[in-house]
Structure 1
């Protein structure tokens, strides 16, 4: 029976997972299965693919179980039960988890034990919409597979070596010492892109690169020598670009106004900013970019216009942080699949000299810039789960050698 690693990527309303064949080389994994359960607490959808990328049939029984899911714990139970049903094909030896927040303490993946789990729980106030679900996944797997190695991989870790000035808020130093700093997120996605970028760009990958991770959660990261220099998210995943349901950058005085003048309590404000804002808030239609692009509603157009405008402004800001720009990379759901959004962002960045090949952009080639463009533009698929699987293998090897 072949040994395998399971990767769990629990988000605020979805859980992605993958089962990889264990490998001696952390870069050469074969995937057994990939899956995604979305719409937790709303309208659930379960999708599965095999190692050939072919969609697997969801049985009536599994569809019925999925339709009853209301919480992340229920979703994890359904996923783990499905994985157990495939156990005749492999033996799980380890699990890797995407954990949104590692605070200032964790700048690399760690094996989870009781002390580490306690640390992760202490970060819940810093990421209340993500951290509890990821901790829950660790605890559920610990119950089902006692003694199995579990590795926590942090979305903040990639940004921990940013210049000190890029991590600061202009707040009293005492608050900074209590952990109120710019952490940055989507680090596992950015780390994966940084890792494979030389395969696309060669030595140019070491230059001044901005990666636009555009999806339901959206952010951008400036890289130099494939290291994070600055990023749009800061203390929480709420900051930066407008997203599917999150507002992005907001004047803090808006919150004072909502509390004092509109009588909203902190929970209502949190619900507003995290779940009722962004694309869904501006459009009143959907948080899904493709649905907005297909809509004739003027409010859908306004939501798209705002998204492109903010992305273009952040592109300029991050270019300033890099003192110039050599390459722009699009990734994640919108970045990889919405050619009209890529085209509009690049058009607004013509002041940087960016020229894209419209035909290459529409069909989604990896390089979509023309030969005369001084800034090359790329579309590179991200794979957070594969990055986590690599970390699992590397961390186990490191601890075993010690």
Structure 2
């Protein structure tokens, strides 16, 4: 049975183009949708979006060899996507049959991954108010993809979906109920990353804490595959200290900035999203690698690193409390996967929870970096957000196709036995 636009998930060679739009980068991978577990045919990234010297690199998904590299102006994600599409057109690779987009925030209305139509697009537009740094740029790329591939199904893969079933006590923020009804609640983020960890470790123990540490960072408590709490709240600005984002901040600071410094909402937003975190404290950079190079001689760089470490350590401890113990800790994301010193510093104050690193294993950067016999299994697992997008697209379109097949196989009801829609499900 074909999908509405004539493509069929069950035929061989169905390919998904996974698009992971960030604030200044765009990652992509072209996968076979048959399980999405094989290496992508090609993958790559457009970096330094918004500059006159954007870098586009496309690599072979199997060997990792660079197939194409160029430096071109990329004013925004739309230009980056258009350039990626043109480059892929010129390569000996399959054309995509569906496109999946990472969307950071689904808002109050959209809680699950969904095929994008006019209704879903309107819901995502409404969600832009919750994540103005991320969602509008991602939706611009969605529109560009719809123009470039008008016949293909496009799927919104939400970072917030993983946390949609948070317990009430974790989801609810301590504000007036009228504000809660307006959408003020904890949504949680890095959900695609968390889901990709569970997909790679299906036998993960019951009480798992995932520390996704990159330019954006969050810590999530997972019990038996379900998100129980997470450090980010209504927006991706909260939680642990990040590259340029403040993380959790005394609300009184924001009121003081408005009252005493005359800052409006936009100025405050720029401050907490772009001029705070590692950059704000160090005055040097939001890149932990740069701060490492100057920390011996720069006390502010040293302070910024120490604050970041403490911030993450506190959140891991908090999530262990939520789970009433911790069986495993996973580091992922750019910092989590590649900065052995950060991992060591974070875990150094957590031995009371059974978290003990093996220094040699940690430096080597393999899968298991904990001490043998320690109560908590500590691992480094690379995030696979693009592959997780493929999985969600595959599952959603396969389910939709199966439902269509089921509906066409049902015998027609006679007018005398057909139940009115208004009565279905009542009583």
SS in structure 2 of the partner of residue 329 of structure 1: strand
Counterpart contact for 1:4–1:90, Cα < 8 Å: yes
Counterpart residue number, 1:399: 400
Hey, what's the Cα distance between the residues in 1 that align with 2:200 and 2:63?
Answer: 21
Describe the superposition over 1:264-283 as per-residue Cα deviations: whole angstroms up to 9, x where unpaired: 22222111111111111111
Per the alignment, residue 409 of structure 2 pairs with: none
What is the alpha-carbon distance in structure 1 between the residues aligned to residue 354 and residue 96 of structure 2? 50
1:91 is aligned to 2:101: no
Partner of 2:391: 390
Rounded to whole Å, the distance in 2 between the matches of 1:229 and 1:3 is 35
Instruction: Please tell me whether the aligned partners of residues 3 and 91 of structure 1 are also in contact (alpha carbons under 8 angstroms).
Output: no
Find the counterpart in structure 2 of residue 20 from structure 1.
31
Shift of 1:72: 2.1
Aligned residues of 1:346 and 1:354 also touching (Cα < 8 A): yes
1:247 and 2:246 are equivalent in the alignment: yes
Per the normalisation by structure 2, the TM-score is 0.88
- How far the C-alpha of 1:118 sits from its partner, in A, is 1.1
Contact 1:22 1:29 in 2 (8 A): no
More deviation, 383-392/311-320 = 311-320
Aligned partner of 1:162 in structure 2 is 166
TM-fit CA distance, 1:77? 1.8
1:287 aligns to what SS in structure 2? coil
Listed one character per residue, the Cα deviations across residues 186-213 of structure 1 (whole Å, up to 9, x for unaligned) are 0000011122223xxx4xx231111100
Alpha-carbon separation, structure 1, partners of 2:114 and 2:63: 30
Deviations 1:244-296 (A, max 9, x none): 11110001111111122112222221111111111111111111112212223
The correspondence of residues 42-57 of structure 1 with structure 2, limited to 5 A, is: 42=51, 44-56=54-66
Q: How does 1:169-248 map to 2 (within 5 A)?
A: 169-198=173-202, 202=203, 205-248=204-247
Which residue pairs with 1:319 in the alignment? 320
By how many angstroms is 1:340 displaced?
Answer: 0.3
**Higher alpha-carbon deviation: 328-337 or 30-39:** 30-39
Higher helix share: 1
Aligned partner of 1:38 among 18, 38, 47: 47
Post-superposition offset of 1:102: 1.3
Deviation for aligned residue 1:57 = 5.1
Question: In the TM superposition, what is the alpha-carbon distance from 1:84 to its structure 2 partner?
Answer: 2.1
Q: 1:327-364 deviations in whole A, cap 9, x for unaligned?
A: 11101100000000000111111221322110000001
Counterparts of 1:57-206 in structure 2, within 5 Å, are 58=68, 62-63=70-71, 66=72, 68-86=73-91, 88-198=92-202, 202=203, 205-206=204-205
Q: Contact 1:40/1:71 (CA < 8 Å) preserved in 2? A: yes
Say if 2:32 and 2:38, in contact at 8 Å, map to a contact too: yes
Residues of 2 paired with 1:238 and 1:47: CA distance? 29
Aligned to 2:372: 371
Range moving further from structure 2, 222-231 or 350-359: 350-359
Question: Displacement, 1:166?
Answer: 0.4
| Structure 2 SS opposite 1:91 | coil
CA distance in 2, matches of 1:359, 1:390: 35
Larger radius of gyration: 2
Q: Distance in 1 between matches of 2:306 and 2:205?
A: 32
Counterpart contact for 2:335–2:342, Cα < 8 Å: yes
Q: Within 1, Cα distance between the matches of 2:151 and 2:128?
A: 25
d(CA) in 1 for partners of 2:391, 2:176 = 39
The 1:369/1:84 distance shift into structure 2, 3 A limit, reads same
* DSSP-derived class of the 1:378 partner: strand
Shift of 1:76: 1.9
**SS of match in other structure, 1:344:** helix
Compute the displacement of 1:47 (Å): 2.6
Question: If the length of structure 1 is used for normalisation, what is the TM-score?
Answer: 0.93
Q: 1:328 to 1:236 in 2, by over 3 A?
A: same
Shift of 1:58: 4.1
Asked whether 1:8 is paired with 2:19, we answer yes
Give the distance between the partners of 2:275 and 2:329, measured in 1 at CA. 30
Contact 1:4/1:93 (<8 A) preserved: yes
Task: Label 1:72 to 1:27 Cα distance change in 2 as closer, same or farther (>3 A).
Answer: closer
CA deviation string 1:136-184 (max 9, x = no partner): 1111111111121111110000001111110011111111111110000
**Structure 1 unaligned blocks of 5 or more:** none
